[in-house]
């Protein structure tokens, strides 16, 4: 049988050899469409990575031939000559990234992908240490009277994020000092709590008790009163700021200038009277407010009003102001001049809302308005005067203190602090300044290192101001900005206040 098969095979070979004499046999190789098998060894799918990590892979092919290698990260080719690559993840953004490893035989590529998470953010060590708080003044157990300053010192390795001063469990200030008018308190012992919070939320505090004794104050004590300016954002009707009335109650100022009162003049001053009644009902232990508001208001973001616990003996709504070139300028928002009798001292309070918005056109309008109102005040003569409101400009006195101001000019404020000459910052405005009055920027004078921001967010600037002239500067006691609990929710502006002690 074996021989038979061999014979048969030989016969076939002989036949093929015979055919090859007259024919050519063509052998066609079938194409290789099977890609190499690629496997990523490290890292693994969804692995969290940090620092320098190795990428490695393997590749096998049915024909045993691998001609090209590639490693890609987020569609960027990083390796072309090896099965591994050291990846510095610190050069990448934290989050998801894709690694692709590829190998090619003679014709086709094989690929494998993994998705990984880079996490190079180092979590800070938990801070369990509270700030150290010490009340510097007054002294524990001391007897106090009249107006005193409460001061605390707070230290923490990570800094202090907020302060609070409370008297008899009632919040008074968000600063590290507070001017306390003890004449408003009952004689006897009162508790002072000073608290500081660090960025981790740890609280430190110090508490003392002091004795208030005002029984020996003169029968004719000095008059201490609080003045405030407050832009209430379109009559306080802006739904984003529902707490403007709460801020007024927290501040408890004796004289208040409101800006952007809107339509308080409608229906015979209906809203003005509504708010007067509400505040007078709330402040049952204070003299009642009387009020006036500008008339003929067309827009909700216009209008001004004053509420005063002292008699108002004169009121003038100012629609036009006199410029230096003798022309009359029609102001964007009417000024008003209220004369108040503060227990025998007659003070003119000039309310202002200069033109808003950045840019050269609006800056020029503010400068004309300021030039004109300064001329108006000069024409009143050498009398006690306060100029306050939303001036929509920042002061040259803040240069170097607050570097976040932008887009708002300082020309109008330069006119108030004459002489001020700085051509590099826009020129000399001292020629437009008062020829009678020497103005004091109240908050900056009393708080030289405090930014006193009144317009938080876009500009982080002081654009609301209180200025007093030379006849009132010596009576200043204290000034704060936006230091109540609801300051941030009461308006897009913070309040600015000033305390006066008339003797």
- Rounded distance, CA 465 to CA 36, Å? 75
How confident is the model over 272-312, as pLDDT tens digits?
999 999 999 999 989 999 999 999 998 889 999 999 999 99
Domains present along the chain, CATH in parentheses: 37-118 (2.60.40.10), 132-212 (2.60.40.10), 223-502 (3.60.10.10)
Per-residue pLDDT tens over the stretch 417-460: 755 555 455 567 778 889 999 999 999 999 988 888 999 887 88
pLDDT at res. 215: 77
- pLDDT for residue 4 is more than 90: no
> Residues with Cβ < 8 Å from 41, sequence gap 6 or more?
56, 57, 58
Res 216 pLDDT > 90 = no
Which of the residue ranges 84-98, 371-385, 422-436 would you say has the lowest mean pLDDT? Answer: 422-436
Q: What is the mean pLDDT of residues 333-343?
A: 94
Mean pLDDT of the chain, nearest integer: 87
CA–CA distances in Å: residue 251 to residues 259, 410, 463, 482, 496: 16, 29, 19, 9, 10
- Portion of the chain with pLDDT greater than 90, in percent: 66
Asked if residue 464 lies in contact with residue 502, where contact means CB atoms within 8 angstroms, the answer is: no
Residues with Cβ within 8 Å of residue 63, at least 6 apart in sequence: 32, 105, 106
- Separation of alpha carbons 479 and 491, rounded Å: 19
Percent of the chain that is helix, strand, coil (3-state, to 5): 20, 40, 40
Going by C-alpha positions, the residue among 169, 152, 167 that lies closest to residue 205 is 152
Q: What is the DSSP letter of 495?
A: -
Maximum CA extent, the chain? 147
Neighbours of 429 (CB within 10 A): 24
3-state secondary structure at position 404: coil
What pLDDT was estimated at residue 185?
87
Could you tell me the pTM of the whole model? 0.58
More confident residue, 87 or 8: 87
More confident residue, 171 or 402: 171
Residue 399 — very low, low, confident or very high, per pLDDT cuts 50/70/90?
low
pLDDT at residue 217 tops 80:
no
Tell me the backbone φ, ψ of residue 231, rounded to 5 degrees.
-85, 110
pLDDT of residue 1: 36
**What is the C-alpha to C-alpha distance for residues 350 and 337, in angstroms, rounded to an integer?**
5
Instruction: Using pLDDT thresholds of 50, 70 and 90, give the confidence band for residue 174.
Output: confident
Residue 228 three-state SS: strand
- Cα–Cα distance, 174 to 312 (Å, whole number): 32
């Amino acid at each position: 049988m074996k021989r038979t098969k061999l014979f048969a095979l030989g016969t076939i070979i002989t036949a093929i050899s015979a055919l090859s004499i007259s024919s050519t046999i063509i052998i066609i190789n079938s194409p290789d469409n099977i890609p190499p098998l690629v496997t990523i060894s490290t890292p693994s799918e969804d692995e969290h990575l940090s620092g320098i990590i190795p990428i490695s892979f393997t590749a096998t092919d049915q024909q045993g031939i691998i001609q090209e290698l590639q490693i890609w990260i987020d569609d960027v080719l990083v390796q072309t000559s090896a099965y591994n690559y050291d990846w510095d993840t610190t050069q990448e953004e934290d989050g998801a990234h894709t690694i692709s490893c590829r190998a090619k035989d003679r014709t086709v590529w094989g690929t494998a992908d993994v998705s990984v998470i880079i996490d190079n953010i180092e979590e800070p060590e938990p801070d369990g240490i509270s700030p150290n708080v010490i009340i510097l003044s007054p002294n524990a157990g001391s007897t106090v009277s009249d107006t005193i300053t409460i001061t605390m010192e707070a230290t923490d390795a990570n800094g202090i994020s907020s302060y609070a001063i409370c008297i008899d469990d009632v919040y008074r200030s968000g600063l590290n000092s507070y001017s306390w008018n003890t004449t408003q308190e009952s004689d006897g012992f009162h508790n002072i709590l000073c608290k500081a919070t660090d960025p981790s939320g740890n609280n430190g505090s110090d508490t003392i008790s002091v004795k208030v004794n005002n029984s020996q104050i003169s029968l004719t004590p000095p008059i201490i009163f609080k003045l405030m300016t407050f832009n209430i954002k379109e009559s306080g009707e802006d739904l984003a700021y529902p707490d403007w009335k709460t801020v007024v109650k927290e501040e408890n100022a004796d004289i208040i200038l409101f800006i952007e009162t809107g339509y308080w003049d409608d229906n015979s001053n209906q809203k003005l009277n509504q708010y007067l009644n509400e505040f007078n009902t709330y402040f049952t232990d204070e003299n009642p407010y009387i009020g006036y508001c500008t008339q003929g208001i067309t827009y909700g973001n216009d209008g001004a009003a004053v509420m005063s616990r002292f008699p108002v003996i004169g009121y003038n709504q100012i629609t036009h102001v006199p410029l230096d070139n003798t022309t009359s300028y029609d102001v964007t928002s009417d000024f008003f001049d209220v004369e108040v009798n503060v227990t025998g001292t007659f003070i003119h309070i000039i309310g202002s809302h200069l033109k808003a918005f950045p840019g050269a056109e609006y800056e020029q309008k503010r400068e004309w308005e300021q030039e004109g109102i300064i001329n108006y005040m000069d024409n009143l003569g050498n009398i006690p005067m306060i100029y306050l409101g939303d001036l929509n400009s920042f002061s040259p006195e803040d240069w170097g203190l607050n570097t976040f101001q932008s887009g708002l000019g300082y020309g109008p404020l330069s006119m108030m602090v004459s002489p001020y000459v700085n051509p590099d910052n826009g020129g000399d405005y001292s020629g437009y300044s008062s020829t009678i009055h020497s103005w004091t920027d109240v908050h900056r004078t009393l708080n030289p290192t405090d930014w006193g921001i009144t317009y938080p967010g876009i500009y982080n600037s002081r654009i609301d101001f209180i200025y007093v002239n030379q006849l009132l500067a010596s009576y200043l006691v204290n000034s704060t900005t936006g230091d109540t609990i609801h300051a941030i929710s009461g308006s897009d502006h913070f309040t600015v206040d000033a305390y006066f002690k008339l003797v």
